[in-house]
């Protein structure tokens, strides 16, 4: 009986951790990466503010010329994309079921909460 309970708890832990951990409310530093150059180092730095399921990404670097320090890089809803098993920055509830996400697709941006990286194209 004891082994069954421990086994069940272990399986639940594996199942939950496979979805990745959503970060707590707060402010974090992330890197912006370019999906066209996956092996290329970090493109820029940003500040990510998470409040419940809302997310705001603020550019805090001066290396890109198209956007300036303090500008909002992206803002939306932090949601889990079941099809690709990735966190995304959605702009409507329908983005949860988007056909494509991240990379250079027309879908929402992918955000890696573990590595603290946002993928852009």
Contacts 24+ apart (CB under 8 A), 53-58: 53/77, 53/78, 53/79, 54/78, 55/89, 55/111, 57/30, 57/89, 57/118
Query: DSSP code of 8?
Result: H
Assign 8 a pLDDT band (cuts: 50, 70, 90).
very low
Is the separation of the CB atoms in 88 and 19 below 8 Å? no
pLDDT of residue 2: 52
Where are the domains positioned within the chain? 22-120
Is the separation of the CB atoms in 34 and 121 below 8 Å? yes
pLDDT of residue 14: 38
pLDDT tens per residue, range 66-84: 788 999 999 999 999 999 9
0.85 exceeded by pTM = no
The residue that leads in pLDDT, 80 or 9, is 80
pLDDT of residue 60: 95
């Amino acid at each position: 009986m004891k082994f069954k309970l421990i086994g069940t708890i272990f399986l639940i832990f594996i199942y939950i951790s496979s979805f990745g951990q959503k970060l707590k409310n707060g402010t974090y530093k992330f890197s912006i990466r370019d999906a066209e150059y996956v092996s290329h180092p970090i493109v820029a730095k940003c500040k990510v503010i998470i409040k419940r399921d809302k997310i705001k990404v603020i550019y805090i670097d001066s290396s890109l010329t198209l956007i300036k320090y303090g500008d909002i890089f992206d803002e939306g809803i932090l949601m889990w994309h079941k099809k690709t098993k990735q966190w995304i920055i959605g702009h409507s509830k329908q983005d949860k079921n988007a056909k494509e996400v991240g990379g250079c697709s027309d879908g929402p941006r992918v955000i890696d909460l573990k590595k603290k990286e946002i993928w852009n194209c």
